[in-house]
Each structure stands twice: as structure tokens, then as C-alpha cells.
Amino acid sequence: PKTDIVFLKVHKSASSTVMNILFRFGETHNLSFAFPTGGGYQLYYPHHFLARFVQGFSPRSPRRFNILCHHMRFLQPEVQKVVPSSAVYFSILRNPVQLMESSFVYYKGASAFSRVRSLEEFLSQPYRYYNPASGDRHYARNLMTFDFGFNPDGDVSPKRVQLMLKAIEASFDFLLISEYFDESMVLLKEMLCWDLDSVVSFPLNTRDSSTKAPLPDSVVEKLKAWNRLDWEIYTHFNRTFWERIDRAIGRERMGREVRALRERQAELARTCLQGTGSVAPKDIKDSSLRPLQHGGARILGYNLKQGLDPELERTCRRLVTPELQYSRILYKKQFPPQP
């Protein structure tokens, strides 16, 4: 199994669920994480990543960390200073239309969104609300482009787009697609030589459907045009994702593997969870399992069954521990507080 991993955690694209998979794998195999200094949750995002943002990094000691997966704005030469040269690089993408809708609800306080009631209103005159010079502009335009380290207001000429896609391909071994999450997990397992249980997950940091509404076609087209760079990244890597599956796994075996993954997840849900799935924040009984609530979104969580045997309880708890709490647990384990 591959144990040196760089995961670029792209905002609002099921990346918290992937992070939980990496946290569990790292904890099980006693791997080290490149944590933000002081145990924060982001590597000085939205600044471009620098090696010195990592706790325990020193230019004089060649210490390398196994897993880098906290939010960052990608800058490969700096990333290479903190992980082994053998590291596998991957990320996950989401359809930019849904991504922006999610971002709008989650980052309602961002300067570009704070004065509008709806996405339609924003898109009717985006430059009235969007300021390319504001420090939080990326939440409102080409968020994936920004996370990959490029300019979200950059030129969209075919030549420029090709250069960006080539640069991403040169840096990353593969990109997952959140709309095909189960297929992505099978591909991840294949690329990292992991077993099925290592890529099992319950969806984390997802929001209650009460805040979701279907978007009219006119808005969808405007969203694609406004997030043109993201759209180019997404459509290109969505295509290569399926090409890779055909090459590496084949559709027939992929179908079998996805069924096995879903069966295992359903079995774990029956074993671990009260009820069948996620619950609203107010209904989460154990406060240590309550996810951070942000913006206008209601982020769902889980309740564990009572009376599980200790080993099983531990497995189940790790599957539903929200990102911030899990990050804190692992940070304390890696950097025990000095008495």
C-alpha cells in the first residue's frame, strides 16, 4: 500500500469525506501528517502554500511527512519540501455549477455574496458585487482554479486553458470526481493499492437538503460562463477519469467493485448508526461528533449506536468524527502537549 500522499482538498467537493479516509488510514498505519503550525485547520489558506506553514518543518532538517491533506492553495515546489519524492498526488473535482451553488450557501458572508439574496441576483450583474481585488474573491469565482494555484480571473483563451490543464496533469497522478464518488473510491483504492475497508466512508460535511433548490437552465449557463476556467478543468478531467477507469479497471469490474463498496458501507451503517443515516445538527446527541456549522448551510452529522464493543465503537466513531475534531485528535497524538 502507498503511504506517502498529497491530497489537494478542493473546497465543497466531498473533500472532507476523502480527508476522513486519509485520517483513518494514517492513524491505523501510524503515519505522520503535515499539520498547519499550531494545529490549525488550514495551511494559511488562501495564501499559496509554503513549507514553513507546516508544524515541525525546518529547512535544516530533511524531515518529511507521509500525508499532506489540509486545505491549501497548491504550490508544488513548496509541497515537495515536506513530503517524500515518492508521494502520490491526487485531488477531487465537482461540477462547478453545483460547487458554486454550495459555495453561495456556505460562504454567504463572503464579500461578493453578502449583499445579494440569490445566485440569480449575483449573476445578473456579477461585477457589481464581485471585486477581483478582495481577499475572499475566490469563493465566488473559479474556486477550483484558485485552489490549484491559478488566477481565478485569468484569461480563458484556449491556449491559456491548455497550459493550465497541462500543468495540473504534470503535478497530479489522478483526479477524482465527486459526482462519481463510489467509482472514485474504487479508483483511489486501485491507485494506492489499498483494501476495500480503507476507502469505506460515510458522507461528511454534507448539508441538509432543505437549503438546496434546483437551478433554472438560464442560471446554469451563466454559472458555467462565470466559472469558465473551473468548467474547463472539470470537463477535461471528467473525461480522463473514465478513460483511466477503462484502462485500469474496466467498466465490468468497476460495477462489481462499486457494489461491494456500497454493500460494505450499508453493513457498517447498520452496525454503527442509530437510524439509517445522517441527522440534523440539533439531533446529534454526542457534542464531540457535531460538525462545524457555517454560513447558511445546515451541516448534518450522525448518532452512534449505544453499547458497541470497544473495538467496534472505535471504528464506528472514526467514520463519523468531523474533520476539525479528528484533526485535533491526530495533532495531539503527533505533537503531544509538553507537561
SS3 for 57-72, per residue? CECCECCCCCEECCEC
pLDDT value at 154 more than 80:
yes
pTM as predicted: 0.96
- Distance, in Å, from the CA atom of 101 to the CA atom of 139, rounded to the nearest integer, reads 11
Binning pLDDT at 50, 70 and 90, where does residue 338 land? confident
pLDDT in tens, 296-320: 788 999 999 999 999 999 999 999 9
Grid cell at residue 90? 491526487
Residue from 298, 307, 291 nearest 17 by CA: 291
Quote the pLDDT of residue 70. Answer: 98
Q: How far is CA 305 from the centre of its chain?
A: 27
Domain range for residue 105?
Answer: 5-334
Q: What's the mean per-residue pLDDT of the chain?
A: 95
DSSP string, 140-192: GS-HHHHHTTS-TT----HHHHHHHHHHHHHH-SEEEEGGGHHHHHHHHHHHH
pLDDT in tens, 50-87: 999 999 999 998 789 999 999 999 999 999 999 999 99
Whether 246 maps to a domain, the answer reads yes
pLDDT in tens, 244-260: 999 999 999 999 999 99
- Distance, in Å, from the CA atom of 317 to the CA atom of 268, rounded to the nearest integer, reads 11
Binning pLDDT at 50, 70 and 90, where does residue 295 land? confident
| Backbone angles phi and psi of 141, in degrees to 5 | -160, 130
Q: How far is CA 253 from the centre of its chain?
A: 26
Whether 318 maps to a domain, the answer reads yes
Whether 138 maps to a domain, the answer reads yes
Binning pLDDT at 50, 70 and 90, where does residue 185 land? very high
Whether 339 maps to a domain, the answer reads no
Taking residues 25-47, report their average pLDDT: 97
Helix (H, G, I), strand (E, B) or coil at 312: helix
pLDDT value at 211 more than 90:
no
Quote the pLDDT of residue 210. Answer: 72
Whether 238 maps to a domain, the answer reads yes
The 8-class DSSP code of residue 118 comes to S
Residue from 69, 73, 94, 264 nearest 184 by CA: 94
CATH of the domain at 249: 3.40.50
Q: How many domains does the chain have?
A: 1
